[in-house]
A and B are shown apart, each in its own frame.
Chain A
Amino acid sequence: MSDYTIIGKRMPRVDSRAKVMGKAKFTADLKLPGMLVGKIKRSPYAHARILNIDTSKALALPGVKAIVTGKDTEGVKWGVFAYTRDQQFIQTEKARYIGDEVAGVAAVDEETALKALDLINVTYEELPAVFDPMAAMASQTELIHEEFPNNINIHVNIDTGHVDENFEKSYYIREDTFVAPEESYFQAEPYAVLARFDHDDCLEVWCPNGGPHMKSKPLSNSFKIPLHKVKIRKIAIGGAFGGRSEICPADYICALLAKKTNCPVKIVFTREENTIATRQGHAMITTHKTGVDKEGRVLARETTCYMDGGAYSSTGPIATSVPFLSMEQAYRMGSVRYNGYRVYTNKPIRGMIRVHGRGFACGLDTQLDMIAEHLGIDPVEMRLRNSRQPGEYTSTKSYVDSCAMDETIHKAVEASGWKEKWGKLPPFHGIGIGTNSVQTGFPMGIRGGSQSFIKFNEDGEATVMSGVVDNGQGNDNMLVQIAAEELGLLPEDIHLVSADTETTSSDPGSYSQVSTFVGGHAVKIAAANCREKLFEVASKILKVDPGNLAAKNRMIFVKDNPEKCVPIKKVVRVSLLNFNSVNAEGGYWPKVDMKREWVSNPYGQMCEAFSFGTTIVEVKVDPDTGQVEVLQATAAQDVGYALNPLVLEGQFEGSVAMGGQGGMLTEYHEWKDGRCLNPTMLDYKLPLACDMPKIKNIIVESLDPKGPYGAKEAGMSIAMSAAQGYSAAVSNAIGVHMDSFPLTPDKILAAIKKKKSKAD
Chain B
Amino acid sequence: MVMVDGTRSALVSPELAPTAVVRGVSYAYGDGVNRKTVLANVDLVLEPGRFVVLTGHSGAGKTTLLTLIGAIRSLQNGHIDVLGIRLTTGAERQSRDRRRKIGFIFQDHNLFGAISVFRTLWLATELGNMPLSRSEAMEKALGILTRLNMAEHLHAFPGELSTGQKQRVAVARALMNDPKLILGDEPTASLDHASSMLVVNLIREHVLRNGASALIVTHDERIVEFADHIIRLEDGQMVQHK
Partners in one complex: no
Give the interface of A toward B (CB within 8 A).
Answer: none
